[in-house]
């Protein structure tokens, strides 16, 4: 019995190692050793903001929690109101240089649909990845509506959901994204009807588009989304997953929900997203 268990453990370890090597062979050079969790999954929090913090403080948290970070800053025109919005090559270049040589991946969270015009393709290609979400939404008159803000006029649930799903599809179709984050989030007035509003047909439309454009889906530990039915559909469709906390200091690197869902899904290293190598990043493949 002891020999059998030892052999089983050995073979399981070999399989996990093979999966990890397969994953790494498809990815770009990592900025350092990537910590591994259960089943050899890379412990990466690719949705970390430096608001109210510094890169050095973030690295202290990363070391303490045994997680590697991907740092993201909002990027787009100055019409997008955030404490920091990178809006041109000079600003993006300074941001990249600030992270250069640190054991972190470098990304941006793109804002609205016109962010690509702010930057040159060579400068965007210096990033490891680009992510966005669908939470800034076009109002009927065309202005940018932040759905998380109270008082937003979002109409009736069915009409909103039809437009919201179409908005997800438009974003993924027209923008060179590596990751879609905060996936399936709903504004507060509709959140209590989540299961009724996110029908199988609506989930399928989002997932099919992500598959078409090779866009990874974040498992968000901040919003505890997507829920398991969405994630099961995404896994069956062959999508890759990323972990994200959407964390600001000191909450970055908390991946409890992400890891819980990974266990429920039985995720292995090949199921996970890692930033692509030179030439395979979305901003290079799709522009």
Q: Which two tokens stand for residue 29?
A: 């050079």
Residue-wise pLDDT for 18-75, tens only, equals 444 445 546 888 999 999 999 999 999 999 999 989 999 999 999 999 999 999 999 9
Residue 135 exposed, middle or buried by CB count within 10 Å (0-12, 13-18, 19+) = middle
Residue-wise pLDDT for 230-246, tens only, equals 999 999 999 999 999 99
CA distance 106 to 46: 9
DSSP state of 245: -
C-alpha separations of 114 from 119, 176, 213, 262 in Å: 10, 12, 19, 34
Domain boundaries in the chain? 2-285
C-alpha separations of 265 from 53, 191, 253, 259 in Å: 34, 24, 21, 10
Please give the share of the chain, as a percent, with pLDDT higher than 90: 83
How many Cβ atoms sit within 10 Å of the Cβ of residue 237? 13
C-alpha separations of 241 from 122, 130, 151, 279 in Å: 26, 14, 33, 21
Fold of 2-285: TIM Barrel (3.20.20)
Residue-wise pLDDT for 74-84, tens only, equals 999 998 888 89
């Amino acid at each position: 019995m002891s020999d059998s268990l030892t052999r089983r453990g050995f073979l399981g370890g070999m399989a996990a190692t093979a999966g990890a090597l397969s994953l790494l062979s498809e990815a770009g050079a990592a900025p350092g050793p990537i910590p591994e969790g259960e089943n050899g999954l890379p412990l990466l929090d690719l949705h970390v903001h430096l608001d109210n913090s510094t890169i050095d403080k973030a690295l202290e948290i990363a070391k303490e929690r045994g997680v590697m970070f991907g740092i993201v800053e909002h990027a787009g025109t100055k019409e997008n109101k955030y404490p920091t919005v990178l809006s041109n090559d000079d600003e993006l270049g300074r941001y990249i240089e600030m992270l250069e040589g640190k054991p972190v991946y470098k990304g941006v969270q793109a804002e609205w649909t016109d962010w690509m015009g702010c930057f040159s393709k060579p400068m965007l290609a210096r990033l490891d990845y680009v992510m966005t979400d669908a939470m800034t939404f076009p109002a009927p008159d065309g202005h940018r509506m932040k759905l998380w803000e109270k008082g937003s006029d979002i109409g009736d649930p069915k009409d909103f959901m039809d437009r919201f799903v179409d908005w997800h599809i438009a974003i993924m179709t027209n923008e060179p994204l590596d990751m879609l984050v905060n996936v399936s989030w709903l504004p507060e007035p509709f959140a209590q009807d989540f299961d009724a509003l996110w029908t199988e047909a609506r989930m399928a439309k989002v997932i099919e588009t992500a598959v078409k454009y090779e866009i990874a889906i974040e498992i968000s530990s901040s919003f505890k989304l997507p829920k398991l039915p969405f994630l099961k559909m995404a896994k069956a469709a062959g999508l890759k997953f990323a972990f994200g906390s959407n964390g600001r200091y000191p909450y970055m690197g908390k991946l409890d929900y992400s890891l819980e869902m990974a266990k429920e899904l039985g995720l292995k290293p090949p199921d996970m997203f890692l930033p692509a190598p030179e030439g395979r990043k979305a901003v290079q493949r799709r522009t």
